[in-house]
Amino acid sequence: MSYFENLKVFVRVVELGNLSAAGRDMRISPAVASNRVKELEKYLGVRLFNRTTRQLTPTEHGQIFYKGANRIIQAVDDAEASIASVSGKPKGTIRVSAPLGFGRRYIASGIPAFHDLYPDIEVRLRLSDHNVDILKERIDLAFRLGVIEDSSLRMRSIMECERVLCASPAYLKKFGAPATTDELAKGNHNCLLLRFPGSTEHAWTLKTPEGASKIDVRGVFDSDDGDVLLAWALEGHGIANRPRFEVQAYIQEGRLVEVLKGTPPVPAQLAVIYPHKDFQDPKLRLFIDFMTARCQRMILEALNGN
């Protein structure tokens, strides 16, 4: 297994560009990762990387070897998945990505219960409101809440989630409630925006009598964490565009007030996406089934005030 582990470390170093990142991803120290790469180079008799102080880039030999090593790792993964499917005893590691707040409340809280049912499956959870490139980052599946773009990935819909515009009573007392979407477009209100590299939430898509309309909105506060936007809204700093299940309790308590009810945001799609090749992996199917049922139940409970 030592040689195979060396292959896996080599592949992650190529993909992530440095030993420290590869080590963190594989839960080993940079020193161990470095030794594994050196063992491969000694065995093969060639230099696999050009080394600088900050980054490793594969040599011509390294690029050639990466393609073959990657195929070997994928073949072993596929073989293990086939055995698990036949034996009925799924095992291995699942790498999962989910939005920050949603992931904390709905996914992270369910992982211990999933592990109790399937103790041979290890789940590694990565939380980020950025849309992670699951192929590049070797994520097995990702939960997404928003507009799911067409891609080469498979998608399983969990449910459609209504979104609302809302603000605190203190904000509305100070600035008034917007009467039309034009007030948002003209910058008359502070809109709380989810922004990060590649984010598109400089505009909100609202349902109008003429159909879906994209409104450019403005605000002096933005964050790459949806929970921060919710906290700002509760503190009276602006208008937030959030899923109803996330804010329903605050609306019922009077801590938030829904605005522009006649032109709400278009619903968000809650779904899980994963590569085509992972469709037959039994451990992924088990995890998706478990979390789909859990999310549906918990979201309905949140909407019903339970």
Q: What class is the 163-266 domain? A: alpha beta
Residues of the chain with CATH 3.40.190.10: 89-160+269-303
Give the three-class secondary structure for 242. strand
Which carries the bigger pLDDT value, residue 192 or residue 92? 192
d(CA 11, CA 31): 16
In terms of average pLDDT, the best of 46-60, 135-149, 157-171, 182-196 is: 157-171
Where do you find CATH 1.10.10.10 in the chain?
2-85
Confidence at residue 295, expressed as pLDDT on a 0 to 100 scale: 95
- CA distances 177 to 14, 42, 189, 228, Å, are 53, 69, 9, 22
- Give the CATH architecture of domain 89-160+269-303: 3-Layer(aba) Sandwich (3.40)
Q: Which residues pair with 272 in a beta bridge?
A: 143, 156
Cα 139-267-158 angle, rounded to 5 deg? 45
How many other β-carbons are positioned within 10 Å of the β-carbon of residue 85? 15
Class of the CATH-defined domain 2-85: mainly alpha
Report how far apart the first and last C-alpha atoms of the chain are (Å, whole number).
Answer: 50
pLDDT attached to residue 235: 97
* pLDDT tens for each residue of 161-205: 999 999 999 999 999 999 999 899 888 999 999 876 555 557 899
- Paired strand residues for 191: 239
pTM > 0.85: no
Between 228 and 150, the higher pLDDT residue:
228
pLDDT value, residue 148: 72
Tokens of 289: 């089934």
Residues 6+ apart with CB under 8 A from 44: 61, 65
Q: Each residue of 29-47: pLDDT tens digit?
A: 888 888 888 888 888 888 9
Residues of the chain with CATH 3.40.190.290: 163-266
Instruction: State the Cα–Cα distance between residues 149 and 152, nearest whole angstrom.
Output: 10
